Structure formats: C-alpha cells, structure tokens
C-alpha cells in the first residue's frame, strides 16, 4: 500500500505537521492509523516528529518535480 501524500507548503510548526499528516491519513481512508501516528509522533522531540511523519506519509513540496 502506498503512503498518503502531503502536498503543498506546510508550516514547519509541529502542530501544523501533525494536522497535515492527520488529514492526509484520513483522506486516504487510513483514519485507523491516526491515533497510532499521533502517539508515536508526539512521544519525542521535533526530529522524532519529522521522522515518524515520514514513515506514515510522503511529502511533496510545491515546485518539486515528480521523479519517474
């Protein structure tokens, strides 16, 4: 199963990252993973938040060209 994608600019604030990942999981029909994600992402420092977030979703930033 491919990971959901968070696209566009995301504010680097921890709460903005948590919200963006939560919404991406819900949009992809993976709402059952939200509670697990939130617990893991909030259980450490900011680096942990980013590492865990990248385990659950892919980030596609504005202006990034898709690699094929």
What are the residue boundaries of the structural domains of the chain, listed by start?
A: 5-60
- CA-CA distance, 27 to 12, in Å (whole number)? 21
Within 10 A of 40 (CB to CB), how many other CB atoms are there? 16
CA-to-CA separations, 58 to 42, 54, in angstroms, rounded? 18, 6
**pTM for this structure?**
0.85
Report which of 66, 6, 64, 62 is spatially closest to residue 30, judged by C-alpha positions.
Answer: 6
pLDDT tens digits for range 20-67 = 999 999 999 999 999 999 999 999 999 999 999 999 999 997 765 555
């Amino acid at each position: 199963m491919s990971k959901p994608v968070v696209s566009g600019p995301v504010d680097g604030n921890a709460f903005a990252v948590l919200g963006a990942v939560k919404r991406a999981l819900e949009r992809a029909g993976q709402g059952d993973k939200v509670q697990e994600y939130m617990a893991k992402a909030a259980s450490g420092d900011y680096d942990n938040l980013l590492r865990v977030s990248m385990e659950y979703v892919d980030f596609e930033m504005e202006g990034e060209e898709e690699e094929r």
